[in-house]
Amino acid sequence: MTLFDRSEYLARIQRVKSEMARRGIDLLLVASPANQFWLTGYDGWSFYTPQMVAVSHKAEEPIWVGRKMDAVGAKFTAFLKPENVVPYPDIYVGSTERHPMQFMAEELTRRGWDKGAIGVETDDYYYTAKWDALLKAGLPNAKFADAFLLINWCRMKKSPRELDFMRQAGRIAAEMHRAAFEKAAPGVRQCDVMAEVYRANIAGTADFGGTFPCKPPNAMVGEICSAPHLSWTDEKLVPDDLFYIELGGVRHRYHSPLSRCIYLGKPTERMQRVAKVIAEGLEAVLAAVKPGVVCEEASRARNWRRCGSA
Amino acid sequence: MTLFDRSEYLARIQRVKSEMARRGIDLLLVASPANQFWLTGYDGWSFYTPQMVAVSHKAEEPIWVGRKMDAVGAKFTAFLKPENVVPYPDIYVGSTERHPMQFMAEELTRRGWDKGAIGVETDDYYYTAKWDALLKAGLPNAKFADAFLLINWCRMKKSPRELDFMRQAGRIAAEMHRAAFEKAAPGVRQCDVMAEVYRANIAGTADFGGTFPCKPPNAMVGEICSAPHLSWTDEKLVPDDLFYIELGGVRHRYHSPLSRCIYLGKPTERMQRVAKVIAEGLEAVLAAVKPGVVCEEASRARNWRRCGSA
């Protein structure tokens, strides 16, 4: 029932272990839920209580450590052998006396993984100051190294199956924008347009369904468009409203973001000129993208200031 | 355009300042996006880059510190005076050389807020180990104190307007479950049922729209029900499937959670007995809930083992 073959997970882990070796890291502690998913397949919304994946050179598979009730979900979603799913009991949950990171330190010590250099994702959401303090107190024989984004860089190169999921996510993103375009009209509440966007997000296409996004769409109307990252309201759309929607289609946690504007009227000449500049610039960049090209070069491929001048 | 009156925000801040004084905290640094929203009204999905709210006894209003582009959103959503919205420039974003917490420490020093006891939310997601290390390095004249959950406890007592939003969220939660109940049937994909749940989540009712949830609904079918916190699939429902949905209706970030099961068939006698036990137990607890009663007492109000025995 796992999303990828065991061989694909083991190849990912090998990639991570190589980078660990290059940096002199003996044990990697992974706090990021997205990185845990990529490494093990574990796909529960359970990281509101502390959970971690640990990668050691001493073991083929990582271990997943999390709340006991969530260990059941690992059975359905992770490629790990049962002995590599390590549950902690509920006495550690929401307690002022005990913390799951104390359990984590004890578990690592039991396995003899408490020495050498331990890499941690120092600036990852979820790797809190408290986790860090408790792990350092519980693992006095180790020295800690910053491994923030180590796995994220390993994730950059995608497998064919990952690319399939990203393409499917792209098709879902297009469906979401289509749903917004079809629903938006003067007199319709902004929330009713976004309701259709969400419906399309989850329904996906006839061939494959969608999943929830890692962040909600941003959706701004009128003067609110001058701010990013805000949300829709209950207000009704009016003629000549500009409705800016930034969203991502999602398939199995793989996101394809897509931003588009809907204008409820006849666009002004200036709007049309700006739209033309953006389209030309994007096409010039896309034409320049190929393996080996860095983002800076792609961006230089065409001088954006000259776009739309024809 | 703020959700609450200025007087309500100032009353909340006063409540927080009293608790700070009781604990001997001179400055409170708030990493939690939900706590920032409650204190200031700021409501952007912008905390993927570091942002903080700081509460000092020396100033009536807190300050909000965040990415420059997001400071525009503060104008629309926060009750703060313009001078209390402090943007940092983009050279701090995604940089390996600079970090927003260095800017934060400098800003606090400029204001003379760099001495005494500084409270931080040590175990909040978003208050990372790196933030803590950089703030401690940048504020050498302060001593740090743990203020995790300080604001969350202040949030427990709700204002009439907050209760209105929670009741509206409850009505939306009911709509979401109604949508699932109406759509679920053998032959329908799980994702298509959840698409209707999401549509109802955002569309809300004819009187008020909804907002996105802080976590996606959990939705599990068949044997997957044995695990919590997992998600729907593309599979079609079949007769006698059990579909367990845990969700929250949301109105302006106020959530009302509601869990329900849909059974696609005639429930067995055992199921009916369990349902009866649960309903009786919940009613007994609800009857016992009143001001001054602690959760432990409410839970004891009726011996759950005896429920359903009639």
The answer to whether the CB atoms of A125 and B128 lie below 8 A apart is yes
Query: Can you give the pLDDT at residue B309?
Result: 56
Question: Chain A interface, mutation test: which of B198, B221, B233, B246, most A Cβ atoms within 10 Å?
Answer: B198
Q: A306 pLDDT exceeds 70? A: no
Query: Can you give the pLDDT at residue A93?
Result: 97
Mutual angle of helices B160-183 and B190-203, in 10-degree steps: 150
CA B61/CA B84 separation, integer angstroms: 7
Percent of chain B's residues with pLDDT above 90: 90
* Nearest neighbour of B227 by CB, restricted to A76, A127, A200: A76
The answer to whether the CB atoms of B44 and A229 lie below 8 A apart is yes
CA A292/CA B199 separation, integer angstroms: 42
* Shortest alpha-carbon distance between residue B70 and chain A (Å): 6
Where does CATH 3.90.230.10 sit in chain A? 160-266
Q: Which residue is it, tokens 């598979």?
A: A61
**Shortest CA distance from A225: residue in chain B:** B73
ipTM, two decimals, is 0.95
The answer to whether the CB atoms of A209 and B202 lie below 8 A apart is no
Which tokens is B203 given?
């569309």
Give me the half-sphere count of Cα atoms (radius 13 Å) on the Cβ side of residue B240: 3
Give me the half-sphere count of Cα atoms (radius 13 Å) on the Cβ side of residue A54: 25
**Residue B77 contacts A where some CB pair is shorter than 8 Å:** yes
State the Cα angle at A256 between A251 and A260, rounded to 5°.
Answer: 130
Contacts of A72 (CB under 8 A, 6+ apart): B226, B227, B228
A-contacting residues of B 251-290, CB under 8 Å? none
Q: A61 pLDDT exceeds 90? A: yes
Which tokens is A35 given?
């990185």
- Widest CA span in chain A: 70
Query: Can you give the pLDDT at residue B299?
Result: 79
Average pLDDT, integer, range A78-94: 98
- Chain B residues lying within 8 Å of A250, measured CB to CB: none
Query: Can you give the pLDDT at residue A69?
Result: 97
CA B140/CA B135 separation, integer angstroms: 9
The answer to whether the CB atoms of B198 and A199 lie below 8 A apart is yes
**Shortest CA distance from B220: residue in chain A:** A73
Which tokens is B156 given?
């427990």
- Chain A residues lying within 8 Å of B210, measured CB to CB: 191, 195
Give pLDDT < 50 ranges for chain B: 310
**Shortest CA distance from B125: residue in chain A:** A126
What is the three-class DSSP state of B19?
helix
Query: Can you give the pLDDT at residue A303?
Result: 65
* Nearest neighbour of B199 by CB, restricted to A43, A73, A196: A196
CA B304/CA B308 separation, integer angstroms: 9
For B160-266, CATH number out of 3.40.50.300, 2.70.150.10, 1.10.1200.10, 3.90.230.10 equals: 3.90.230.10
- Chain A residues lying within 8 Å of B123, measured CB to CB: 99, 128-131
Q: A310 pLDDT exceeds 90? A: no
- Chain B residues lying within 8 Å of A199, measured CB to CB: 195-196, 198-199
* Nearest neighbour of B201 by CB, restricted to A198, A224, A231: A198
Q: DSSP letters along B10-32, please?
A: HHHHHHHHHHHHHHT-SEEEE--
Q: Is the CATH number 3.40.350.10 carried by domain B6-154? A: yes
Q: What is the pLDDT of residues A5-54, one digit of tens each?
A: 999 999 999 999 999 999 999 999 999 999 999 999 999 999 999 999 99
Query: Can you give the pLDDT at residue B310?
Result: 45
**Residue A42 contacts B where some CB pair is shorter than 8 Å:** no
Where does CATH 3.40.350.10 sit in chain A? 6-154
Contacts of A28 (CB under 8 A, 6+ apart): A16, A20, A54, A55, A56, A118, A119, A147, A150, A151
**Residue B163 contacts A where some CB pair is shorter than 8 Å:** no
Query: Can you give the pLDDT at residue A297?
Result: 86
Q: What is the pLDDT of residues B84-115, one digit of tens each?
A: 999 999 999 999 999 999 999 999 999 999 99
Q: What is the pLDDT of residues A248-302, one digit of tens each?
A: 999 999 999 999 999 999 999 999 999 998 898 889 889 989 999 998 888 887 6
Average pLDDT, integer, range A127-155: 98
**Residue A200 contacts B where some CB pair is shorter than 8 Å:** yes
- Sequence-ordered strand ranges (E) for B121-278: 142-146, 218-221, 242-251, 254-263
Average pLDDT, integer, range A234-243: 97
